[in-house]
Amino acid sequence: MVSAKLASTILVSYLLVVATVCNAGLSPFYYGNSCPQAADIVKTEVTNILQSNPNLAGGFLRLHFHDCWVNGCDGSVTIKSTADNLAEVDGNVNFQLRAIPEIDQIKAAVEAQCPNTVSCADIVALAARDATVYACGPDWPVALGRRDSRVSHANDADTQLPFPVLSFSGLVQNFANKGFTDREMIVLSGSHTIGHTHCNGIGPNLYNYTGQDSLTDTNPHLDSSFAASLKKPVRKETDDELLRGPSGASTVQYLAQPGSSWLAEFSNGMTKMGQLSPLLAPDGEIRRTCQVIN
């Protein structure tokens, strides 16, 4: 059960986040007049999708991160490559990026009621939040009003996103480049408690790890158990790196404690990430389908 003190901390953080969001050129109420049902449509579609495939929750969350981390939250991660352009989705770091067809499915449902109104970038952001809540993770207010980019290059993804073999110092620098602290980096790494990982992220640990415990199936819930799990053999090399160095180890130890502020900090971190260089009107467009520019 959540303590009264922790619940109060989460509530205060939530209210502060709402105020911050509204001051960033975005607003949770952006579609209040043009499409007030937008968030409900997205939530319904995400719920239906995850009821059939619960492990896709991590896919929605990863998609939002990979969108925002590359030139801002602009929906560019969902654009297909063409004969003339290799898009972000086909960058090496985006290997087996999931949930893009499902984003288009959600987009179609939104378009049916509010044509040419809600951006793919906003749908990606809403879907990530709703998937996290579905996976028993924290809630946060999603800022809306982003526009969709007409540009997407694989090289941008490969030069801006953190590769799965980065050292702790490399991870710290990568997040610092986007204005995040090492603590925020560790907190947001809690998203690794849900979804799938791939061989390029676990190879060194899979073959060189000296621990005795066997790998276990991923629990489809998102919570602070990620920090506790770092004390055991881990799946991703970047997660293993979080324990290297005193600052990383001490933060992990704190976040692993029952009643820590991880929920509130994760919510704040996701809100901050969702505000990374959003594309705002009159720039960009509202795509009719998320994988193809208009």
* Span 233-254, pLDDT tens digits: 444 455 556 656 656 677 777 7
Is 88 flagged in the annotation as binding? yes
> Considering the entire predicted model, what is its pTM?
0.79
Radius of gyration (C-alpha) of the chain in whole angstroms:
19
Q: Is residue 279 part of a domain?
A: no
Domain of residue 154, CATH code: 1.10.520.10
pLDDT at site 164: 82
Q: Is the pLDDT of residue 19 over 60?
A: no
Q: Is residue 294 part of a domain?
A: no
State the chain's mean pLDDT as an integer.
82
Q: Is residue 193 part of a domain?
A: yes
Q: Is residue 288 part of a domain?
A: no
Q: Is residue 282 part of a domain?
A: no
Is 141 flagged in the annotation as binding? no
**Residues 108-144: tens digit of each pLDDT:** 999 999 999 999 999 999 999 999 999 988 999 999 9
Is 44 flagged in the annotation as binding? no
Is 221 flagged in the annotation as binding? no
**66 catalytically annotated:** yes
Residue scoring higher pLDDT (13 or 134)? 134
Q: Is residue 178 part of a domain?
A: yes
pLDDT at site 289: 98
The answer to whether residues 258 and 230 touch, using CB atoms and an 8 Å cutoff, is: no
Residue scoring higher pLDDT (172 or 155)? 155
Other residues' Cβ atoms within 10 Å of the Cβ of residue 186: 30
Domain carrying residue 244: 4-273
Which candidate, 239, 233, 235, places its Cα nearest to that of 212? 233
SS3 labels along 83-123:
CCECCHHHCHHHCCCCCHHHHHHHHHHHHHHCCCCCCHHHH
**Residues 177-227: tens digit of each pLDDT:** 999 998 999 888 876 566 444 444 434 443 444 444 444 444 555 555 545
Is 162 flagged in the annotation as binding? yes
Q: Is residue 278 part of a domain?
A: no
Instruction: Give the single-character DSSP code of 281.
Output: T
Please give the tally of structural domains in the chain.
1
Catalytic residue among 66, 153, 198, 221: 66
Is 193 flagged in the annotation as binding? yes
Residue 209 three-state SS: coil
